[in-house]
A and B are shown apart, each in its own frame.
Chain A
Amino acid sequence: MSRTSFFNRRKLKTNKPEQQNQTKTTIELGKNLAENLKNIKTILGEPSDLIVRETTLGGTDKKCAIVYISGLVDQDLVNNNILKVIQSNMNEIDPNQIDVVFQEKIAITDIKKDNKFDESIDSLLSGSTIFFLDETDTVLILGTAGGEKRSIEEPQSEALIRGPREGFVESVQTNVALIRRDIKNSNLRFNYHDVGNKSKRTIVVSYIDGIVNPTIVQEVNRRVKSIDLDLVAESGFVEQWIEDSFLSPFPQMINTERPDRVASSLLQGKVGILVDGTPFALIAPTTYSETLKSLEDYYERWIVGSLIRILRYIGTFLALLLPAIYIALVSYHQGMIPTQLAFSIAAAREGVPFPSFVEAMLMIITMEILQEAGARLPKNLGQTVGIVGGLVIGDSAVSAGIVSPIMVIVVALTAISSFTNPSYSVGIGFRMLRLFFMVAAAIFGLYGIILAYIMLNIHVANLKSFGIPYSAPFAPAFVKDWKDSVIRAPITMLEKRPTYLKPEERQEKSKNEEKS
């Protein structure tokens, strides 16, 4: 309910008539070549990278032109497969029949006829070449998109020790191809959406027909279509627009740079969302336990994979609770600390002028600042920040008596633990929650921590990602899915698809495959 009202509000805002839309509708394709070319130049503001090559059809005196934007097209393709063909001898064909001529002549596979001006301009801006012929109100749109592209590299944000080294790039075509290379299945589907008011972006919704739950696909498509933004600059925009709850600290979609991750998710019955112009794909729906999984758990042997996963759960608990527990124990429940340790903590805190909450806050905020500073800096400077921040500040803060050495241990352990989470965006959420827990501990001690933990659980229990409870498979309990949750059972036991997604085809390996 909140969702629809949210959309409506945004729609009202953008409902005002806009200038660009007006110009788009006023001009239509005429029969006069010179006029058409003039119009196109006026609309685009006569940019210098707009190339208009006027010529005559080879051997005849029929005038024609090709128009493209340099830098967006594959230059060789335009020269060899279009221009050369046009200028070659065309005497034998009736030049007035534009479609017959060029569908047979021009050596480009992606070719379509159009008679709408604004559509032609849109495709021109996405790298197509437009062919105009005099005395015709139809143009040909030739798919010549090309230009500079980044080559496939190892993903920066999700490096694995073991696993494929390829990552997504900015071009959505390449990314689709990468998924196709991983899943050679005729049921692999890609739904294309062009989204954005001022600038169109291609968003591709991919899934495997017959495996995925169709209601999820419908819902994803519906939400993607509802996107009402001027520009979808990154998949983050898509994520924020289509997520279920924008108040939650948890991301309800996983973002990934890894084609293998998307491929394996599709095979589990999830939906992948690729956005042109960004290497980050989205995977939906997701649950809390999914965010703690890394592909490497599957690539390593199961004992190692399971232990690392358990470690990650422990790491998450530590990252969330450790400073809060420290505050609670030191300020309220000193009796719970073993005597020996209590003495040494008391001795260490001897000269510290602040209560433990202030002490912890100081260190945690310093830690956050260091993290943020390091994230934005160039790599070689990042090390300096690490050394200055971690070593110098940590060490001198202790010797200056501002914080106790135990606090430094707590903060360092917390920081390291929070990096065990394979998903950066989940990690950020936990950084916020940690402060919440610290405040709760400062006011109510352990009682506050457990109430805060209950509140967190209430939130997770009510959170959904595309209709799938975020707390699945733990609650509601899908016992069959537990063997791939906290632990990762041997790969031979993971034959079935996860049941919490209610996928259509339950059997992951068909009987035939198993026999062969």
Chain B
Amino acid sequence: MPPMEDKDIQISDKDIIIAVPSILVAVGILSLPAKIAQETISSDGWIPLLISGIVMIFLTWLVVKTVSSFPNQSFFTISSSLVTKPIAIILTLLFVIQGILTAAFEVREIADISQIYLLNDTPMEVLSLVFLLVVIYAVSGERAGIFRLNTLFLPFIIIISLFVIILSIGWIEKANILPIFKTSIGGYAEGIKSSIIYYGNIGFLLFYLGFAKQPKKAPKMAAIGMSFTVLLYTLLFIACVGVMGNGAVSNIIYPTLDLSKELEIPGGFFERFESVFFTIWVMAIFTTTVIAIDITVLALQSVFKKLRKLNIILFIAPTVYFISLLPKDYVEVSTLSNIVTVFALVLLFVVTLLFTILLKIKGVK
């Protein structure tokens, strides 16, 4: 059998379902409950979370449907035929920026969090460098290998999340959940605003759709993947607020990690369960970062056809590392986080609108 070329890879329906949570679930969910709890009263945060989730499920379905009506074509070719080549180049390069920024943000956050929860004395620069090296190792392999990695890691992420959610059921206090529906309309709007940005990175999926084995099924699969992610976020939010209460959650930086700190593992096998939780969560952050860098490579390759994968990686990796070192403290990190997520979301909206409208006008060739 000849060695498989990257162009030959085919991704199945299952791969698409798995890719969605692999792209989305990362550092965001660790701080998400705090952001939403700040805007809402008691446990009401699940409503904006769910609403923004449903909006995003629909948006994903729409954009995936539009893109996958051009089967087996790269994002660049599709956008060239829809919005002329110069704009297509700009759009693709914007995704390159999104990929680099996302990767840098994840690399920075993982170093920060592991310094808080795992290794207090190791310098942040070293932690992020090691992580980035592992990510580069993954990206320089086959693209099909990345999908296999997603498949290998997702079960761990699901199991550890379910474990936390199920354990926290026993710790939920009624006073923290009730009363419901006390938030004002403005609060809900703010909540939606701060929760919807967590789904912006789904735009990465568009680049992989060209490899889909059954493009017709892709919108449904992407929607299933999205629903799973929305459900996971909502459940984790309810667990956080239910166990720790709205007040506490909105004042913690990473409530999801602190939720696992509150829990006591039956049997007393481990103390400080949040360390275990975060250790497993490194896998989720890893898949997101790998995909972000891989998309950057893919996008650059689709515009500059002569560039070799390894050269691109050698150029991107230092950039990512450099950007990840830029923020000086937590405030600046969250500014970076805001920039990255809002940028991703706006880009996704623009692409969705442009593509859907132009497809309606021009029709599929």
A residues with CB within 8 A of B: 1, 3, 215-216, 219, 332-333, 335-339, 444-451, 454-455, 457-458, 460-462, 466-467, 469, 471, 474-477, 479
Q: Could you pull out 12 A-B pairs where Cβ atoms are within 8 angstroms?
A: A336-B275, A338-B270, A447-B114, A447-B118, A451-B131, A451-B282, A457-B149, A457-B153, A458-B134, A462-B142, A471-B148, A475-B151
Known: A447-B279, A471-B152. A215 touches B3 (CB 8 A): no
**Chain A neighbourhood of B145, CB < 8 A:** 458, 461-462
Cross-chain pair count, CB within 8 angstroms: 105
Judge whether B282 and A447 touch: CB under 8 Å.
yes
Asked if B231 CB lies within 8 Å of chain A CBs, one says: no
Question: Which A-chain residue is minimally distant from B18 (CB atoms)?
Answer: A477
From A1, A339, A467, give the contact of B271 (CB < 8 A).
Answer: A339
| Bound-complex Cα distance A215 to B1 (A) | 7
| Bound-complex Cα distance A183 to B282 (A) | 48
Secondary structure type dominating chain B contacts: helix
Interface residues of B in 189-237 (CB under 8 A from A): none
Judge whether B148 and A469 touch: CB under 8 Å.
yes
Judge whether B152 and A333 touch: CB under 8 Å.
no
Asked if B119 CB lies within 8 Å of chain A CBs, one says: yes
Judge whether A338 and B1 touch: CB under 8 Å.
no
| Bound-complex Cα distance A363 to B136 (A) | 34
Secondary structure type dominating chain A contacts: helix
| Bound-complex Cα distance A471 to B141 (A) | 14
Interface residues of B in 146-195 (CB under 8 A from A): 146-153
B291 → A minimal CB distance (Å)? 14
**Chain A neighbourhood of B12, CB < 8 A:** 476
| Bound-complex Cα distance A461 to B272 (A) | 31
Judge whether A336 and B134 touch: CB under 8 Å.
no
**Chain A neighbourhood of B50, CB < 8 A:** none
Question: Which B-chain residue is minimally distant from A467 (CB atoms)?
Answer: B1
Judge whether B280 and A450 touch: CB under 8 Å.
yes
From A450, A474, A475, A479, give the contact of B283 (CB < 8 A).
Answer: A450
Asked if B286 CB lies within 8 Å of chain A CBs, one says: yes
Known: A445-B119, A467-B1. A451 touches B142 (CB 8 A): no
Judge whether B119 and A444 touch: CB under 8 Å.
yes
B294 → A minimal CB distance (Å)? 12
From A1, A335, A476, give the contact of B15 (CB < 8 A).
Answer: A476
B49 → A minimal CB distance (Å)? 28
Judge whether B272 and A333 touch: CB under 8 Å.
yes
Judge whether B271 and A455 touch: CB under 8 Å.
no
| Bound-complex Cα distance A448 to B282 (A) | 11
**Chain A neighbourhood of B279, CB < 8 A:** 446-447, 449-450
| Bound-complex Cα distance A454 to B284 (A) | 11
Question: Which A-chain residue is minimally distant from B130 (CB atoms)?
Answer: A451
12 other A-B residue contacts (CB within 8 Å) besides A446-B118, A461-B145: A3-B3, A332-B119, A333-B272, A338-B268, A449-B279, A451-B131, A457-B153, A467-B4, A469-B148, A475-B152, A477-B14, A477-B151
Question: Which A-chain residue is minimally distant from B265 (CB atoms)?
Answer: A338
| Bound-complex Cα distance A216 to B1 (A) | 7
**Chain A neighbourhood of B263, CB < 8 A:** none
Interface residues of B in 312-340 (CB under 8 A from A): none
**Chain B neighbourhood of A1, CB < 8 A:** 3
**Chain A neighbourhood of B1, CB < 8 A:** 215-216, 219, 466-467
| Bound-complex Cα distance A189 to B101 (A) | 57
From B134, B147, B269, give the contact of A454 (CB < 8 A).
Answer: B134
| Bound-complex Cα distance A300 to B32 (A) | 50
Judge whether B152 and A332 touch: CB under 8 Å.
no
B210 → A minimal CB distance (Å)? 18
Judge whether B152 and A444 touch: CB under 8 Å.
no
Asked if B127 CB lies within 8 Å of chain A CBs, one says: yes
Judge whether B130 and A336 touch: CB under 8 Å.
no
| Bound-complex Cα distance A469 to B271 (A) | 38
Judge whether A461 and B148 touch: CB under 8 Å.
yes
| Bound-complex Cα distance A449 to B119 (A) | 13
| Bound-complex Cα distance A479 to B18 (A) | 14
Interface residues of B in 99-142 (CB under 8 A from A): 114, 118-119, 122, 127, 130-131, 134, 137-138, 141-142
Judge whether A447 and B119 touch: CB under 8 Å.
yes
| Bound-complex Cα distance A336 to B279 (A) | 12
**Chain A neighbourhood of B141, CB < 8 A:** 458, 461-462
| Bound-complex Cα distance A332 to B275 (A) | 11
Asked if B276 CB lies within 8 Å of chain A CBs, one says: yes
Judge whether B149 and A475 touch: CB under 8 Å.
yes
